[in-house]
Amino acid sequence: MALLRKQLSTNLKSSRTTNIHYSKQSKLPPGAITDFVWKDYCTTVFRNIQELGGVKYEEYMLSVCNHETLMELSLRGYCGSPFYLRHDKRFIIKMLRKSDAKVLMDMLPNYQRHLEKYSNSLLAKYYGLHASRPGIGGEKVYFVVMENLLQTELQIHRQYDLKGSSQGRSPTKESALPRLTLKDPDFDLCFYLEPATRCILLEQIKIDCKFLEEQGIMGYSLLLGVHIESSSRATKDENNIQQSGKPELINQHSRDNSFQEQNGSDPSLAHKPPPRHSRDPTLSDFFTDSNRPNFRFGAKVRAHAKQIPQSTNNGSTVGRKTRPPKKHSVLLYLGIIDFLQNYNMMKRIEHAYKSLQYDAKEISTVKPELYANRFQEFLCKVFLTEDMTQESPRVSSEYSIVLS
């Protein structure tokens, strides 16, 4: 039996190496590299995960294994910024260290079983682990191909990478992604969901975090994209402004609210009830959506966003005090990303060092159990229902988490 398990494990981790040559007769710029060594890891498991995500293997290879992508990988080098494929927005490519690739390979069989068991899992799907080396003697680059959690025809007005930890979480100044990704110190929102939706969402986050804890993983984050719904009149005005080439007029109707100023939504929405199609769904609506083709749990979640005044060093708040913050109808796109960091010896040393300078519970590098608890506690305060307040959310005992 032990021999059989070893054989199965070996088969799951089998790899395949291919030498790729692009003809110089093709439309390539002068001096372009035409020879690459391409390596697929754990091909059987990733084919299964591609099927779970509705991705056809032939289309995947055409999108990922082409000259444009391989050239960009060779130019970026290892550990470069994640980037979208220009010709296929379904996928995001991220370079990895060899140690991160090993973490993924070790957890891969359990990760596949988790995705199969929980179709609503919020863990981003990794569709492939590869290595590429240009020419002869070029640098070998490891990279992973993952699903684009923010793929939508709608505009994403704000994009966040949230860990529930403020220490060392400064916003990204430069990004290869088409929009700036903000982090915890810049996060000043909470979202009101329909109670059944919130219950299902937090329960799935709990299940996913438990899995990551069992795998010894920490350092992951919630990728959150926010689309602010606007009235038809605001959309028409915005289109007219864009066509007329007068961007200075975009926000002239929304100067009384900072949240609207940053995102170009219509202030009239705060005084009018949302149309029927944009209200929070009922429980039956929620499960009806889950049966539609290509449905992904965590995509297009209806909510009402409320901006929270940020505190200054002296304890006062920044923002207008003459009127309470208004709620705005939004669509959320969310999922858990970057779960390839285990709590290894280097992270233990980092934790010990930073604990001397900061509160041990606030730093990002903590034990997987503490990280999972803090992450869930934070999201319980981000996703609320109408009968809760952000200052003291009435979290049920099922989601009440005590840090120790």
Contact 96, 144 (CB under 8 A): yes
Contact 35, 19 (CB under 8 A): yes
Confidence of residue 21 (pLDDT cuts 50, 70, 90): confident
Rounded to whole angstroms, how far apart are CA atoms 188 and 175? 21
Among 52, 147, 37, which residue's Cα sits nearest to residue 92? Answer: 147
Residue 213 lies in a domain: yes
Burial of 165 from C-beta contacts in 10 A (0-12 / 13-18 / 19+): buried
- Tokens 């939706």 appear where? 197
- Neighbouring residues of 402: CB distance < 8 A, sequence distance ≥ 6: 373
Q: Which of 96, 125, 147 is the last residue of a domain?
A: 147
Residue 401 lies in a domain: no
- Helix residue spans in 65-159 (DSSP H): 67-76, 98-117
Give the number of other CB atoms < 10 A from CB of residue 87. 10
Residue 348 lies in a domain: yes
On whether both 349 and 372 belong to a single domain, the answer is: yes
Rounded to whole angstroms, how far apart are CA atoms 226 and 180? 13
On whether both 253 and 224 belong to a single domain, the answer is: no
On whether both 134 and 120 belong to a single domain, the answer is: yes
Report the pLDDT value the prediction gives residue 32, as an integer from 0 to 100: 75
Length of the chain: 404
Among 7, 354, 12, 381, which residue's Cα sits nearest to residue 198? Answer: 381
On whether both 92 and 238 belong to a single domain, the answer is: no
Residue 338 lies in a domain: yes
Give the number of other CB atoms < 10 A from CB of residue 251. 18
Q: What is the pLDDT of residues 293-303, one digit of tens each?
A: 567 899 999 99
Question: Phi then psi for 15, rounded to 5 degrees?
Answer: -130, 170
On whether both 242 and 344 belong to a single domain, the answer is: no
Q: Determine how β-strand 181-183 pairs with β-strand 158-162.
A: parallel
On whether both 344 and 197 belong to a single domain, the answer is: yes
Give the torsion sign (CA, 53, 56, 58, 59).
negative
Residue 1 has pLDDT above 50, yes or no: no
On whether both 240 and 206 belong to a single domain, the answer is: no
On whether both 224 and 353 belong to a single domain, the answer is: yes
Report the pLDDT value the prediction gives residue 359, as an integer from 0 to 100: 64
On whether both 237 and 350 belong to a single domain, the answer is: no
Report the pLDDT value the prediction gives residue 393, as an integer from 0 to 100: 44
Three-class secondary structure of residue 75 per DSSP:
helix
Q: Which of 147, 176, 193 is the last residue of a domain?
A: 147
Rounded to whole angstroms, how far apart are CA atoms 78 and 70? 13
- In the DSSP assignment, the letter for residue 194 is -
Q: Which of 147, 171, 194 is the last residue of a domain?
A: 147
Residue 363 has pLDDT above 50, yes or no: yes
Taking CA atoms, 70 is separated from 3, 49, 76, 134, in Å, by 38, 23, 10, 8
Rounded to whole angstroms, how far apart are CA atoms 127 and 116? 14
Residue 368 lies in a domain: yes
Among 128, 122, 130, which residue's Cα sits nearest to residue 204? Answer: 122
Question: Phi then psi for 31, rounded to 5 degrees?
Answer: 80, 5
On whether both 250 and 364 belong to a single domain, the answer is: no
Question: Phi then psi for 327, rounded to 5 degrees?
Answer: -100, 150
Contact 64, 91 (CB under 8 A): yes
Rounded to whole angstroms, how far apart are CA atoms 319 and 51? 48
Average pLDDT over residues 78-93: 78
- CATH number for position 117: 3.30.800.10
Residue 244 has pLDDT above 50, yes or no: no
- CATH number for position 166: 3.30.810.10
Q: What is the pLDDT of residues 303-360, one digit of tens each?
A: 999 998 765 444 444 444 445 568 899 999 999 999 998 876 666 566 565 655 666 6
pTM beyond cutoff 0.95? no
Could you list the residue range(s) of the whole structural domain that residue 201 is in?
A: 158-229+274-384
Residue 315 lies in a domain: yes
CA 333 to chain centre: 8
How many domains in the chain?
A: 3
Q: Determine how β-strand 189-192 pairs with β-strand 299-307.
A: antiparallel
Per the DSSP assignment, residues forming a β-bridge with 183 are 161
Average pLDDT over residues 195-215: 97
Residue 236 lies in a domain: yes
- In the DSSP assignment, the letter for residue 247 is G
Residue 238 lies in a domain: yes
Give the number of other CB atoms < 10 A from CB of residue 19. 8
Q: What is the pLDDT of residues 116-152, one digit of tens each?
A: 999 999 999 999 999 998 877 778 899 999 999 999 9
Rounded to whole angstroms, how far apart are CA atoms 229 and 189? 16
On whether both 208 and 288 belong to a single domain, the answer is: yes
On whether both 220 and 180 belong to a single domain, the answer is: yes
Q: What is the pLDDT of residues 160-204, one digit of tens each?
A: 999 988 765 565 554 445 568 899 988 999 999 999 999 999 999
Rounded to whole angstroms, how far apart are CA atoms 70 and 241? 40
The most confident of 104-118, 222-236, 362-376, by mean pLDDT: 104-118
Report the pLDDT value the prediction gives residue 260, as an integer from 0 to 100: 52
Strand 141-147: give its sheet, edge to edge: 15-21, 35-41, 126-134, 141-147, 88-96, 83-85
198-381-116-160 Cα dihedral, nearest 10 degrees: 110
Report the pLDDT value the prediction gives residue 199, as an integer from 0 to 100: 96
